[in-house]
Structure 1
Amino acid sequence: MPHAALVHPPRWLTAGQLHPAPAANVRDWLFDQGSLTRRLTALSDNAFSVTPIEEGWQTLRADECIALGVPTGSQGWVREVYLRGHGEIWVFARSVAARGALEGSGLDLHQLGSRSLGELLFSDRAFDRGAIEVTRYPAPLLPAGVREERLWGRRSCFSRGELGVLVAEIFLPALWRHAGVEAV
């Protein structure tokens, strides 16, 4: 993957800033306030799984630092996974949390393994979900196996006290095909 500093950062937009707006069935997925894990589990008739790609301490991207309210160049925990339905890769997810806020928070992200972070965040009522923002995700920031231009992505920050967990989900063509959605 190219060095993130050399790639134009995603331009995240709220629903009101998004012009032209995508088709209603795409908006339904992008701005759904519920758990994506639960929605994918239902769509796959319980044939849902999480495949960890990479996780560990890294320097967060500038757009992530801004969203988390931490100085540019801050260290954080980065978790990248594939969300699968019937073994097919449907979503690439990247979740980040600033090191200073995460350490001592009681949230142990490195022990999730193949469990869904989203399910954990939605089951803990102490977390509040911020606004959903969407973008056409930059292809160079995607893993090589799913790298495509103009894929729809969304992100939101889940907060509990000082801790913010920024969750970005990039919707891949296999999901749209399975859901019967034309996602141009």
Structure 2
Amino acid sequence: MPHSTAPPDACQWLTQSLLRPLPAPLALNWLFDKGSLTRRLTWLSNDGFSVTPLFEGWQPLREDECVVLGLAPASIGWVREVYLRGHGQPWVFARSVAARSALQGDGLHMDELGSRSLGELLFCDHAFTRQAIEVCHYPRQWLPTADQADGLWGRRSRFDRGPLSVLVAEIFLPSFWHALHDHPENC
């Protein structure tokens, strides 16, 4: 079952220019990095990176997702929720969504990714353009039960390729910040 049971106003997504107060520089670096998170996590984990699918399927999208994708409220979309892991530990909870109408006939088979990284696919296909990164303190109710906590930083951005838009949200779990602070290069 996907994790989307929070009031629609539970999260105010903000770009870096509107974010006040700013998080610590190390958090800011990870939240607004425009490169591939998969590549950075692979580096941080010394190639101990993996993806664990939690949920994949068609369902009504959240109100905030419909707004960003330009869809009518409660539009049906493909939802993919995964853990991005370092050395087997869940470091990031990721939720990716796309409208059913945009996916049909587009050639992006989100339902066939399995344990492969969607982010790597988006960054390898140069036809995708990334829109602005927005961040918020992600609502605990939108997280898997085992990871529900207040104040976790999440970021999202929309990737566009023609009529197809994929909205990707990535929430940094406490185990990620512990691993980052324990890393000798701490970057």
| TM-score grouping bracket, smaller chain normalisation | over 0.9
Letter in 2 for 1:75: I
**Kept in 1: contact 2:3–2:144 (CA 8 A):** no
Question: Partners of 1:159 and 1:26 in 2: how far apart?
Answer: 26
Give the aligned partner of residue 94 of structure 1. 95
Percentage of identical aligned residues: 60
Describe how 1:33-112 pairs up with structure 2 within 5 A.
33-112=34-113
**Kept in 1: contact 2:155–2:169 (CA 8 A):** yes
The DSSP-based 3-state class of the residue aligned with 1:39 is helix
Deviations 1:126-169 (A, max 9, x none): 00000000000000110101111110000000000010000000
Unaligned runs of 5+ in 1: none
**Kept in 1: contact 2:3–2:143 (CA 8 A):** no
**What root-mean-square deviation, in Å, do the aligned CA atoms of Structure 1 and Structure 2 show?**
1.4
Deviations 1:7-27 (A, max 9, x none): 643210000110001111110
**Kept in 2: contact 1:74–1:98 (CA 8 A):** yes
Letter in 1 for 2:129: D
Question: Partners of 2:47 and 2:4 in 1: how far apart?
Answer: 37
Deviations 1:64-101 (A, max 9, x none): 00000111110000000000000001000000001111
**Kept in 2: contact 1:64–1:166 (CA 8 A):** yes
Letter in 1 for 2:165: G
Deviations 1:94-121 (A, max 9, x none): 0000111111111100000000000000
**Kept in 1: contact 2:6–2:142 (CA 8 A):** no
* Aligned length, in residue pairs: 181
Query: Structure 1's 2 and 32: CA in aligned 2 closer, same or farther, altered over 3 A?
Result: closer
Letter in 2 for 1:19: R
Question: Partners of 1:95 and 1:62 in 2: how far apart?
Answer: 14
Letter in 2 for 1:41: T
Give the aligned partner of residue 153 of structure 1. 154
Question: Partners of 1:5 and 1:18 in 2: how far apart?
Answer: 22
Question: Partners of 1:5 and 1:179 in 2: how far apart?
Answer: 29
Letter in 2 for 1:16: S
How many Å apart are 1:4 and its aligned residue?
A: 2.4
Structure 1 residue ranges (4+ consecutive) displaced by more than 3 angstroms after TM superposition: 5-9
Query: Structure 1's 102 and 2: CA in aligned 2 closer, same or farther, altered over 3 A?
Result: closer
Query: Structure 1's 135 and 161: CA in aligned 2 closer, same or farther, altered over 3 A?
Result: same
Q: TM-score, normalised by structure 1?
A: 0.95
